[in-house]
Every structure is written in C-alpha cells, then in structure tokens.
Amino acid sequence: MRRHELTDESWVVIAPLLAPPRMGRPVRDRRQVLNGILWKLSTGAAWRDLPERYGPWKTVYERFRRWSADGTWDRLLAHVQQHSDAIGAVDWSIVCVDSTTVRAHQHAAGARKGGPGRARRSAGPRGGLTTKIHLACDGRGLPLAFTVTGGNVNDCTQLEAVMARIRIARPGPGRPRTRPGRVVADKGYSSLKIRAYLRRRGIATTIPERIDQINGRIRRGESRCRLDRAAYRRRNVVERCFNRLKQNKALATRYDKRARHYQSLVTLACLRLWLP
C-alpha cells in the first residue's frame, strides 16, 4: 500500500456504499479506481499522467466524473460523519468557521460560460482567478460542511449557508444533528445579522467586534459584546484543518475548469480526514 492509498480500515468503512451492480458487465475494482482518484487529489497531476497501476486514466476519470454527478462523494462523507458521530467522535461543543483563498491555475480557465458546474461559478474576477472555500469544523478540527465561491465573495455572506449544510444523521430515528453549542469566528463575521441568526437558533456566539462597531457602541452609550477569550483561542483548529486539506495539491491550487469537479475534490479531501 502506497502513501496516498486507502488503508484496509478505511476501505471497510466506505466499501458498502460502493458496492458493484448486480447486473451488467464486470467493472474495474472500485478500490483501485478510488486510489487512482486519491493519487490525483494528492499530486494535482493531469489525469493523463495517472500511473498504470490504477488502470486506464479514462476509466478513472469517467468514474470520478460520474460519482461527482450522482452525489456519491457527498453520500460517502455523510456516511463517515454519521459513523463518527455515533461513536462520539464529533465535538459538538464548538464549531469554528473561516475561509481560505485558492489560486486558480491557468489550466482552470477557458471553460464555456453558463451551464451547471462551469468554472465561473467558483472563480472570482478580482485579483485574477481565485476561489474561496468557506468551512465549518468541529472542536477537533474535522470538517463538518463547506461552500465554494468566487474569491471576491465576503466571508460573512456565507456563514448561514455553511451552517445550513451541517446535517449529520442519527443512527436511529430522529432529526439530523445540526446545531452546535457555540460558533467561533473572526472579525470578518461580526455583523448584527449573523449574531441574530445564531441567537434565534440558540447557539452561543464568540465573534470579536470590529473597531468601527466598538466605536459606534461607545457613541450610542451601549455596552460592548462580551467575548469568551478561552473559547476564541480554540479558533485555530479551523486553521489547522485548512492546513491539512491544502496538503492535497489538487485542492491547494485549482486546476479544474468545472466547479462541480473542484467541489468533489474538496469533499474527497474532507472525507480523508474523517477516515481512520
């Protein structure tokens, strides 16, 4: 087994969701194909450069494209998160939210405008072609949910969208778990709308105010928002999560023209952090 490939323990967890069809011609070994996709994620190389040990590159790419279209990657991540939550491996006491900017390679340009999943959905026009990953992780630094936008999108506009994507199903009956005990974020998320949104959901807020907001409160004779500094010091778990995700070269630099394919790579990178 090579460095970027799935371990036996990891394969046991996700193999039931990749079961081969009962009818039709025999298909290539799914673990071999998935290891080829992981090689692409880790190295960022072109599909045509895929080593022969993973099979024909066209077969691996077509399987990646098909699993991206039918939501297989999302189902795998949801399954692993549910398994981890069932054994108490998810820290719901705190969720940290932040974003990171990813530069787009010149090969990511040139996609046709319009249509679902095109590159312009994830490439911003300012400062060259860039993409932003908005991420929420639990108290252990494991990714819970994310969105992908253009690099010119403000962080605070995506907090509600990221929080809405946190849905971990329970092993038995009941609604999915969606609400952490506390949300921690930096000053970029300091707004009345965000604080009101979290207050309505019964979620404690640890977000420092910007200097202009502090001065405004002083002029109006209002008291400043209290900041739990002990909780705020735990915000670095999201920075460490981004550091681990960007060890995958295909994620640290966006080579894909289609936004859907890049989102699939981000989902797969998050999946790897959850696997044993």
CA distance 155 to 189: 7
Q: What is the DSSP letter of 43?
A: H
CA distance 224 to 139: 26
Decide: 22 and 51 in contact? Cβ < 8 Å: no
CA distance 126 to 2: 40
What are 173's strand-pairing partners? none
| pTM given for the model | 0.88
CA distance 179 to 176: 9
Predicted confidence at residue 174, as pLDDT, reads 82
Q: Quick check: 111 pLDDT over 90?
A: no
Decide: 102 and 191 in contact? Cβ < 8 Å: no
Backbone angles phi, psi at 179, to 5 degrees: -120, 115
CA distance 227 to 234: 13
Confidence of residue 51 (pLDDT cuts 50, 70, 90): very high
The structural domains of the chain, ordered by start, are 92-252 (3.30.420)
Confidence of residue 126 (pLDDT cuts 50, 70, 90): very low
Q: Give the closest residue to 95 by CA, choosing from 19, 205, 197.
A: 205
Predicted confidence at residue 258, as pLDDT, reads 87
Decide: 207 and 189 in contact? Cβ < 8 Å: yes
What are the percentages of helix, strand and coil residues in the chain, rounded to 5?
Answer: 50, 15, 40
Confidence of residue 23 (pLDDT cuts 50, 70, 90): very low
Read off the amino acid at residue 144. L
Q: Percent of the chain at pLDDT above 70?
A: 88
Q: Give the closest residue to 132 by CA, choosing from 143, 124, 144.
A: 124
CA distance 200 to 238: 24
Structure tokens at 116: 């679902």
Q: Quick check: 13 pLDDT over 80?
A: yes
58-77 pLDDT tens trace: 999 999 999 999 999 999 99
Q: Assign 168 to helix, strand or coil.
A: strand
Q: Assign 150 to helix, strand or coil.
A: strand
pLDDT higher for 26 or 249? 249
36-48 pLDDT tens trace: 999 999 999 999 9
Question: What is the total residue count of the chain?
Answer: 276
What are 131's strand-pairing partners? 102, 150
201-259 pLDDT tens trace: 999 999 998 887 777 777 887 777 788 899 999 999 999 999 999 999 999 999 888 88
Backbone angles phi, psi at 38, to 5 degrees: -65, -35
